[in-house]
Amino acid sequence: MGICTSWSELNPCNLPTRDLASAVRRGVTDAGGIALEFPTISLSEALVHPTTMLLRNLMAMDVEEMITASPIDAVVLLNGCDKTVAAQLVGALSAGKPALSLGSGHRAAGGWRGQTLTIDDSWRLADERRTGRIDDDAWARLEGCLSPTPGVCNVLGTAVTLAMVAEILGFALPGSALLPAASPQRLAVAEATGRRAVEAARRGPAPRTLVTREALHDAWRLVCAVGGSTNAAIHLQALAGRADIDVPMDELRRISETTPTLVRVRPNGPHSLEELEREGGVPAVVRELADVMHLDRPTAGATTWRDIVRDLPAAEGPALRPRTDPIDPRGAIAVLRGSLAPSGGVIKRSAATPELDGHVGPAVVFDGLDDLRARIDDPALPVTKDSVLVLRNVGPIGAPGMPEAGAIPIPANLYRAGVRDMCASPTGG
């Protein structure tokens, strides 16, 4: 049994995978297998420059080649930060041996000046620092409080979204995606994952039988229902490509339009990942969407989703709303097409105030990141609260590699005037 780890001191989000590897090994041994741990490259969103997206496929190839070339019958993938999940799933899918996935789990929330902080607060705090509301000493103290434990970003960003995707596709055990990094239950799940991997080595399934059109649809429906990361569209397309399945943007749009938004977890609302986990996590969301999900697909636990949701109670909130009383009858992610994105783009409308849902305004265009940095805080920038900020040349070709530039800072003169929200597209957690 291979344990493919993306542990690295250069990737704080993935540090918990070292303990998880030991627990997986105990499970493998318990089930009569022999576990051998091996490393691959690891990609940290916070530390890799200029962008991890340049290296996702390199990591996927590393994972694929190591699984293919090594004398192992199955593999447990240990991941965490955004691209490490995507790269491991893509690599394992191509390698073809049975694979189970387990993530680091999200880090604890921070605290500062009486506020509970999650990582999405960092944009607002950075705006406050740029506009002189937080001085150097306070910023240094804040940096020590924002992320108090290892683990992935503690909001519905890309890492947690992809952990949920791994669960719905059948790579991660049901109920595992939202367990916090510090939870002892995560170690228990790691042991169970090791045991289950030995069984999978004997009887499958192979990853290609998991990644079907129906499974990809269910994954996107889950993302649209919970308000997950828009980056999921990019990584699901990569998985679909490896499985020789074409999932056009219009198909994603139709799914979004027929999926209610059910979850109000940061950055889409006031609730926490812990609340969503206590209310049942991925299985509870699947239960609410039972009429539009493919429940006879397998989970990673040798059951079907129908088995998992059969006896679950109906959602009552506050983090997860029932299907009969959604936050929005439309999905949290909108798929758009127009002159700025002729091939299609995605936008997370659930994270914006409703007034930003539809908007017409004058464009303020930046030619790239250097131009953005040079002018965004210029008092002479011709920008109003009705402006549409356009950042050119940060796509897959222009940047290159498509850095996450969705979070354009709010221009300093608008921030000082009280503007605190804007809607970002096409990428961003």
Q: How far apart are CA 139 and CA 129, in angstroms?
A: 8
Please state at what angle helix 213-226 crosses helix 231-242, rounded to 10 degrees.
Answer: 170
Query: Could you tell me the two tokens for 139?
Result: 């910023």
Number of residues that bind ligand FES (CB under 6 A): 9
- CA proximity to 308, closest of 278, 322, 324, 288: 288
State yes or no: residue 403 binds ligand FES (CB under 6 A). no
State yes or no: residue 159 binds ligand FES (CB under 6 A). yes
| Identity of the residue, 1 or 172, whose beta carbon is nearer to ligand FES in the bound complex | 172
Q: How far apart are CA 333 and CA 219, in angstroms?
A: 13
CA distances 216 to 166, 233, 262, Å, are 11, 10, 19
| Identity of the residue, 152 or 334, whose beta carbon is nearer to ligand FES in the bound complex | 152
- CA proximity to 150, closest of 37, 57, 11: 11
| Identity of the residue, 48 or 99, whose beta carbon is nearer to ligand FES in the bound complex | 48
Q: How far apart are CA 340 and CA 362, in angstroms?
A: 14
Q: How far apart are CA 115 and CA 110, in angstroms?
A: 8
Binding ligand FES (rule: CB under 6 A), the pick from 35, 81, 102, 394 is 81
Binding ligand FES (rule: CB under 6 A), the pick from 1, 13, 100, 333 is 13
**Window contacting ligand FES (CB under 6 A); options: 59-67, 152-160, 184-192, 280-288:** 152-160
Give the DSSP H/E element, type plus range, for residue 320: none
State yes or no: residue 187 binds ligand FES (CB under 6 A). no
Question: Interaction with ligand FES in 26-65: which residues (CB under 6 A)?
Answer: 45-46
| Identity of the residue, 13 or 376, whose beta carbon is nearer to ligand FES in the bound complex | 13
Closest distance of CB 396 from ligand FES, Å = 20
Q: How far apart are CA 266 and CA 289, in angstroms?
A: 21
- CA proximity to 7, closest of 58, 88, 78, 67: 78
| Identity of the residue, 153 or 351, whose beta carbon is nearer to ligand FES in the bound complex | 153
Closest distance of CB 147 from ligand FES, Å = 9
For 346-413, the DSSP string reads EEEGGGS-GGGSS----EEEE-SHHHHHHHTT-TT----TT-EEEE-S-STTTTTS------PPPPHH
| Identity of the residue, 281 or 428, whose beta carbon is nearer to ligand FES in the bound complex | 428
Q: Which residues pair with 334 in a beta bridge?
A: 347
Closest distance of CB 226 from ligand FES, Å = 16
| Identity of the residue, 123 or 341, whose beta carbon is nearer to ligand FES in the bound complex | 123
Question: Interaction with ligand FES in 287-306: which residues (CB under 6 A)?
Answer: none
| Identity of the residue, 210 or 276, whose beta carbon is nearer to ligand FES in the bound complex | 276
State yes or no: residue 153 binds ligand FES (CB under 6 A). yes
Closest distance of CB 187 from ligand FES, Å = 20
Query: Could you tell me the two tokens for 90?
Result: 């893509």
Residue 305: what residue type? W
Question: Interaction with ligand FES in 82-101: which residues (CB under 6 A)?
Answer: 82
Closest distance of CB 157 from ligand FES, Å = 6
Binding site for ligand FES (CB under 6 A): 13, 45-46, 81-82, 152-153, 157, 159
